[in-house]
Amino acid sequence: MTTPWDANAYDSRHAYVFRFGASLVSDLNPRPGEKILDLGCGTGHLTNEIAKAGASVLGVDKSVEMIDQARTNYPQLRFVVADAAKYRPRERFDAVFSNAALHWMRPPGAVAESISRVLKPGGRLVAELGGSGNAASILAITKRNPWYFPGIGEYASLLEQHGIEVVQAMLFERPTPVEGENGLRDWLGMFYKPPLHDDVIAAAEKKLRPILFRDGVWYIDYRRLRIVAKRV
Ligand code: BEZ
């Protein structure tokens, strides 16, 4: 059984996820009439930004709670609950877009296979995910990494094995502010599934305060992997 998502808290206290994704929509440069798949769309905010450009967009997420919230937020848009690793729609897309989601999806090879299958030849993948070294200070303390944070070489090679050629890749630091005195605690509570024990959370707060808490704000030590790639 998968742990449910708190889609309300995601929208209210973790809005930085889609705020930081806005520049990825610019990289996608959606055009009127294009068919675009938003893979791991969460509560649908970036799906809506893509739709505003006149593209025909479908949002897909494995979480029922996220898709329920996305449908409430944007009843005029199309959303589907599906596991990316097994996703086999009949339609083909001009582009696949994915923000802060691919590191959740497993196994990565099956996900790359699905992306390859849904893209038209020449179609593009524009994606950002946690890259190698993402949240390293946190992982060092919790000693649990349920995510997939690849480096440029590893991910480019994985995509190439599935007929997708990387044309741009960037791995960069983006310390990301999270709201409030309880920001780190909230982040750990929101994203660790299954949840961490309270004593691990308390230890993380204590040890990471000198590193991640500056001027009253917690910064998660994000390292992003941003990819633009083309289906051969
Ligand atoms: C990320 O966006 O890098 C991320 C978010 C939640 C958990 C792990 C990574």
Structure letter (DSSP) for residue 104:
G
* Residue 192 CA, closest ligand 1 atom number: 7
134 within ligand 1 shell (Cβ under 6 A): yes
Measured in Å, residue 121 CA sits from the centre of ligand 1 at 30
DSSP line for 170-210 = EEEEEEEEESSTTHHHHHHHHH-SSPPPHHHHHHHHHHHHH
pLDDT of residue 181: 93
Structure letter (DSSP) for residue 5:
P
Please name the fold of domain 7-135+147-178+222-231.
Rossmann fold (3.40.50)
Half-sphere exposure of 63 (CA within 13 A, CB side): 20
Domain ranges, ordered by start, for the chain: 7-135+147-178+222-231
Report the chain's mean pLDDT, rounded to a whole number. 96
Structure letter (DSSP) for residue 139:
H
Question: What are 125-163's pLDDT values in tens digits?
Answer: 999 999 999 999 999 999 999 999 999 999 999 999 999
Measured in Å, residue 45 CA sits from the centre of ligand 1 at 17
102 within ligand 1 shell (Cβ under 6 A): no
Q: Which of 88, 79, 7, 10 is nearest to 50 (CA)?
A: 79
Q: Which three-class secondary structure state does DSSP give residue 16?
A: helix
Q: How far apart are the first and last CA of the chain?
A: 37
Q: Where does the pLDDT of residue 1 fall: very low under 50, low under 70, confident under 90, or very high at 90 and above?
A: low
Q: Where does the pLDDT of residue 10 fall: very low under 50, low under 70, confident under 90, or very high at 90 and above?
A: confident
Residue nearest to atom 7 of ligand 1 (CA): 191
* Residue 224 CA, closest ligand 1 atom number: 3
Question: What are 47-57's pLDDT values in tens digits?
Answer: 999 999 999 99
pLDDT over threshold 90, residue 98: yes
